[in-house]
Amino acid sequence: MSDTANERTGRARDYCYLFVMLFAIWMVLTSSLQWQEVITGVLVSVVLAVYLGRTYATLGMPPLSVKRIGYFIVYLAVLSMEIVRANFEVAYIVLHPKLPIKPGVVAVKTCLKQDIAKTILANSITLTPGTFTLDIIDDTLLVHWIVVRSEDNEETARLISGRFEKYLKAVFA
Amino acid sequence: MVRVVAGTIVSGIGVLFLLVGSLGVFRMPDVYNRLQAGTKCTTLGACLAAVGVGIIEPQWFWKTFVIALFILVTNPISNHAIGRASKKSGVPLCDRSVVDVTENLKEYEGRS
C-alpha cells in the first residue's frame, strides 16, 4: 500500500505532536535539567510516540500555524473566564434558599466536523455555566441545562456554544 | 510568609467551592442537576486547592499545575459518562424540568 505524500506528512505531524506533549509532561514532572533525566525523557517519549502514534492519528489534528495557536490561546482565555463564571453561577443556585432551577434537555447543532473539535466543544460546554453535554448524535449535541432560557434551536446554539464555536472553527478549519 | 498566606487563601477558596459542590449534591432534585453541582464546583475547587499547595511549596508548583490541568480535562468526561449512562438506562428528569428533546429521538426510544 503506497501512501500519498500528504498522508505521510500528516502522520509525521501526529507523531511530532504526541512526542512534544509527552516530553513536556515529562519535563514538568521531573522538573530538572540534568542531562540523564532529559535523555531518558527523550527516549521514553520517542518510544511511546512511535507505539501510540497510530491511535493518536485517528483524532485528526490540524496542521500547526501561528493563526491557529493564536485563536487557541484566545479560546483558552474565554474558557477560563467561563469556568470561573460557571462556578459562581452554580454556587449561587445551590445556596439560594428557593433553589431557582428550571432544568431541561435541549439540542444544540454544531458545524464542527472533526471528532477532536466536537470533543473539545462538548467538554467546554460541560465546564461552562449550568450546562453539560449528555450525548452527541452526528452533529447534534444533547445538552442538559440547569436554567433553560430558550427552547428554540438557533437561540440555544447561540447561548450555549456560540462563544466557543467561532474560535474552534478558526482553529480546526 | 507572603507565599504561605497567598497559598492558604487560594486553597481556602478552593475548599469553599468544594463545600458548595457537596451541598449541591444534597439539595438538587435529580441525578442530572446533582451532576451539575457535583462537577462545576469541584472542578474549580480541586484545581484551586492543588494550585494553592503549589504556591506554598514553589518547587511543587508545576506538578500541581499539571494535576489541575488533568482535572480540567478529565472531569467533564466523567460527568458526561455518568449523565449519558443515566439517560440511556432511563433515569427520569425531575418534575420541574421544562423540556426534554430526547423524547423524540430514536436513539432514546422506549428508555424512560
A1-12: average pLDDT: 66
Same domain, A52 and A75: no
The last residue of a domain, from among A57, A75, A90? A57
Percent of chain A with pLDDT over 70: 92
Query: Which residues form the domain of A129?
Result: 66-172
Of A18, A39, A57, at which residue does a domain stop?
A: A57
Contacts of B59 in chain A (CB under 8 A): 31
Q: Which of B71, B48, B16 is nearest to A94 (CA)?
A: B16
Asked if residue A46 and residue A129 are part of one domain, the reply reads no
Instruction: Provide CB contacts within 8 A for B20, sequence distance 6+.
Output: A90, A91, A94, A95, B37, B41, B45
Query: Is the Cβ of A33 closer than 8 Å to some Cβ of chain B?
Result: no
- Rounded alpha-carbon distances, angstroms, from residue A14 to A43, A55, A57, A115: 17, 10, 6, 15
Same domain, A124 and A82: yes
Check if B42 contacts A (Cβ < 8 Å): no
SS3 A147: strand
In a mutagenesis test of the B interface, which of A90, A141, A146 is the best target, namely the one with the most B β-carbons within 10 Å?
A90
Helical H runs in A31-161? 35-57, 66-95, 115-127, 153-160
Q: Is the ipTM of this complex over 0.90?
A: no
pLDDT at B109: 66
Please tell me whether residues A164 and A81 are part of one structural domain. yes
Q: Which helix (H) or strand (E) holds A109?
A: strand A104-109
Residue B20 contacts residue A86 (beta carbons within 8 Å) = no
Is the confidence at residue B12, as pLDDT, over 90? yes
Q: In this structure, are A21 and A89 located in the same domain? A: no
Q: How many domains does the structure of chain A reveal?
A: 2
Please state the rounded mean pLDDT for residues A131-152: 81
A71 shares a domain with A47: no
Same domain, A74 and A45: no
The per-residue pLDDT for range B55-64, each reduced to its tens digit, is 998 888 888 8
- Of residues A31, A94, A104, nearest to B37 (C-beta): A94
- Residue B2 CA: distances (Å) to CA of A24, A120, B11, B13, B88: 30, 37, 14, 17, 51
Alpha helices in B1-112 (DSSP H): 2-27, 31-56, 61-88
One domain for residues A35 and A88: no
Contacts of residue A95, defined as CB under 8 A and 6 or more positions apart, other chains included, come to: B20, B23
Residue B2 near chain A (CB below 8 Å):
no
Contact A28 B63 (CB under 8 A): yes
- Compute the distance between CA of residue A37 and CA of residue A33 in angstroms, rounded to an integer: 7
The answer to whether A135 touches B95, Cβ cutoff 8 Å, is no
Q: What is the mean pLDDT of residues B37-54?
A: 87
User: Strands A104-109 and B99-100: what pairing?
Assistant: parallel
Q: What's the pLDDT tens digit per position in B93-111?
A: 877 777 777 777 766 666 5
Q: Given pLDDT bands bounded at 50, 70 and 90, which one contains residue B52?
A: very high
A126 and A48 co-located in one domain: no
Beta bridge partners of A144: A105, A132
